[in-house]
Amino acid sequence: VDLESSDTLLTSTSPTDIRLMWHPLSSQHSRGAVTRYRIEYSAVDHVDTVFSVEVGGNETQFTLKELQPNQAYRLRIAAGTVVGFGVPSEWARHHTLAHYDHMIFAPTELKVRARENTLNVTWQPSPNHTLASGYKLSCREVEADDSTNRQRTAQTHTIRLRKKARYHLLTGLAHDRQYEVRVWAFNKQTEGAAAVWKGRTDRSTEKRKTSSPPPLRPIPLPPSSIQAKANSSTSIWLRWEKPRFSNVRIINYTVRCSPAGTTNASLVTYYTSSAQEVLLGSLRPFTRYELAVQSNGVDVVGPFSGTVEESTLPDRPSTPPEELQLSALDSSSVLVSWRPPLEPNGIIISYKILYSGNLSEPEHSWKNLSQDGSITSVEVQGLSSDTHYFFKLGAATEVGPGPYSAIKDVHTFLQKYELDIHAVTGIIVGVCLGLICILLCMCFRASCL
């Protein structure tokens, strides 16, 4: 923590106190979580009598009380972790208010809402503001450079405001600049103590759009040489190399994974890896995936790389063929038809039809019939007439067979029905032959006479 830096503020709201405000130490500098801060101070006239107070690591301000009015003090602050305190800041000086100077306390709860070109300053009246005849507000730009000339002062505007004023909008400011705003009450006899705020206007959004990457925040480049290799029907290995040029320390990488060509955001998954490879799991078999990788630094993420594509390996079908249908054609044949499985998980190379007249027979003694994977109907012949048959059907990819469909049954026609037709035909033929014989005989006898 640096008390002299523009991030830290020393103010007085009454002649006997000094208020410190600081910014928490960034984790890069603290080498561990900050658990406490120690503030040391002494009057400049008595430098050998140093007082100190400790506050929690979650605090960013503290008010030293019961000090001497109109007295110069020096203060410094050190951040501590569980291990101990770090190097304290340089000594900073602050002069407490003199009684006679500042009879009116500073306004309280000074808040400033910073935008790109404006600061909206709000405050609450000081405890004895009834004595005030109005407020004054000053604003100046502060150069927050760590050079020797720490605070180059630009012109200061001081504005007088009515006694009832509780806010004021400062406009026409430059973006991304450090400003110091002071607000104090005044009356005819005296000027009150000022409440002080220091902070930045927002960065310009226009500038952010046109300059990429923004100069203050270097962005890590995406990794190079991204290679994807299917590892199983549900997993793909993705490997990559660190970006060749990067001025940002990369902490880890984010992998984006989605089925190729999807527009459904809920099918996109993200994985984080601190290594330069990741095994993407829980994928769908025999599916093409689009993969991209992004580098992450501390509090900054880079853009995604271009996509690479890879398919998972095929697997056995995970569902049976659909819509198995049976229809008896005659006493010895049945037409079997179906549709391919919903989840074939590969190219169907064959279908196997199992059938039996006895449902309680073990599966291996059922009759089986293999068909090419491109066929979706077949006539099963050589069945017994007037018999109940049970059928089931499974599909197989190059990896192996999937589950069988539910069993369906069919009844073949009666042979007797067909025999009757033959008998009738035989009788008709016999009768005809008889008639022809009789006619021939009659003709023969007539020719003899």
Ligand X SMILES: *[C@@H]1O[C@H](CO)[C@@H](O)[C@H](O)[C@H]1NC(C)=O
Q: DSSP labels for 251-312?
A: -EEEEEEEETT---GGG-EEEEESSSEEEE-SPPTT-EEEEEEEEEETTEEEEE---EEEEP
Q: Which is nearer to ligand X, 296 or 333 (CB)?
A: 296
Nearer to ligand X, 220 or 341 (CB): 220
Kindly state whether residue 59 participates in binding ligand X, applying the rule CB under 6 A.
Answer: yes
Out of 360, 382, 445, 449, which residue is the one contacting ligand X (CB under 6 A)? 360
Closest separation in Å from C-beta 90 to ligand X: 25
Task: Write out the binding residues for ligand X, residues 96-115 only, by CB under 6 A.
Answer: 103-105
Minimum CB separation of residue 41 from ligand X in Å reads: 21
* Residue 205, φ and ψ in degrees, nearest 5: -70, -35
Quick one: 41 or 105, whose CB is closer to ligand X? 105
Q: How buried is 146 (Cβ within 10 angstroms: 0-12 exposed, 13-18 middle, 19+ buried)? A: exposed
128 lies in the binding site for ligand X (CB under 6 A): yes
Sole binder of ligand X in the list 298, 433, 439, 441 (CB under 6 A): 298
CB of 185 to ligand X, least distance (A): 9
Residue 167 touches ligand X, criterion: CB under 6 A: yes
Least Å distance, CB 429 to ligand X, is 40
Cα-based distances in Å from 287 to 259, 282, 284, 331, 444: 7, 12, 6, 45, 87
Assess contact for 222 and 294: CB atoms under 8 A.
yes
Indicate whether 63 belongs to the interface with ligand X (CB under 6 A): no
Q: Which of 28, 46, 49, 56 binds ligand X (CB under 6 A)?
A: 56
Question: How far is residue 59's CA from residue 24's CA, in Å, rounded to a whole number?
Answer: 8
Using CB under 6 A as the binding rule, the residues of this chain from 230 to 259 that contact ligand X are 231-232, 251-252
- Which residue, 144 or 165, has its beta carbon nearer to ligand X? 165
The CB-of-366 to ligand X minimum distance in angstroms stands at 7
> Which residues make Cβ contacts (< 8 Å) with residue 314, sequence separation at least 6?
233, 285, 286, 345, 346, 347, 397, 398, 399
CB neighbour list of residue 402: distance below 8 Å, 6 or more residues apart: 316, 317, 318, 319, 320, 341, 344, 345, 394, 395, 396
Residue 75, classified by CB atoms within 10 Å of its CB into exposed (0-12), middle (13-18) or buried (19+), is: buried
Give, in order, the Cα–Cα distances in Å from 30 to each of 35, 57, 251: 10, 11, 18
Tell me: does residue 169 bind ligand X (CB under 6 A): yes
Based on the shown chain and the rule CB under 6 A, indicate whether residue 122 belongs to the binding site for ligand X.
Answer: yes
Q: Does 27 bind ligand X (CB under 6 A)?
A: no
Distance between CA atoms of residues 300 and 217, nearest Å: 8
Which residue's CB is nearer to ligand X, number 269 or number 377?
269
Q: Which of 26, 52, 68, 272 binds ligand X (CB under 6 A)?
A: 272
Among the residue ranges 4-12, 69-77, 177-185, 358-366, the one whose residues contact ligand X (CB under 6 A): 358-366
Binding of ligand X by 361 (CB under 6 A): yes
Minimum distance, C-beta of residue 296 to ligand X, in the bound complex (Å) = 5
The residues that touch ligand X, with contacts defined as CB under 6 A, are 56, 58-59, 103-105, 120, 122, 128, 131, 167, 169, 231-232, 251-252, 264, 266-267, 272, 274, 296, 298, 358, 360-361, 364, 368
